[in-house]
Amino acid sequence: MIILGNHALLKKLVAGLEADKKDYQVIDLYKDKFNPVMQTAELARYQSGTTTDPIVQKYINCIKETDQLILIFPIWWYSCPAGLKGFFDKVLLNNVAFYDDGEGVKPMLNVKNTVIFSTTEQTTEGIYSHAHDCFRNQIATTLADVGCQSIQWHNLGQISSLTQEERVQFLTESYSKIK
């Protein structure tokens, strides 16, 4: 299991995993000082599915071995943060996460369960309708194309105007969504 993301939610999920004695690995893109920008040398290696970046190689090894992926991130300007987009670009490589046999993308990962937690300033319904659900479709399609299955998405909307009780309720209910 790999978890990326928000610290309050991350702490809640990790506490549940530890209480249940489950194996997990946390990828913290900020703590790792992950550079999401695809450099020229990395782009040249993209089709071969190789990297010279040890952090990216660590992430590749993790994602190839996991059976559950949990993503936690805010929605900024109707999309995921650049760090997560860069993670997709640098880690979900050709011949690592997918291959193209000339008839379309074929998945190479076998992630049985994928859970996405996001936060937004707008209401959940408002951001979905205003952005025509483009960010969810883009991310879910990308994940499905590489072999992530059973994709669930849970958004906490209007994050700045929620009461403490509403935030706590979301956190409390979160662990049951990854089981």
How far, in Å, CA of 176 to CA of 90, rounded?
A: 31
Q: What pTM does this model have?
A: 0.92
**For the chain, what are the domain ranges?**
2-177
Question: Tens of pLDDT along 27-81?
Answer: 999 999 999 999 999 999 988 999 999 999 999 999 999 999 999 999 988 889 9
Kindly report the backbone phi and psi dihedral angles of residue 18, in degrees, each rounded to the nearest multiple of 5, phi listed first.
-65, -40
Confidence of residue 2 (pLDDT cuts 50, 70, 90): low
3-state secondary structure of 3: strand
Classify domain 2-177 at the CATH topology level: Rossmann fold (3.40.50)
pLDDT in the model for residue 1? 59
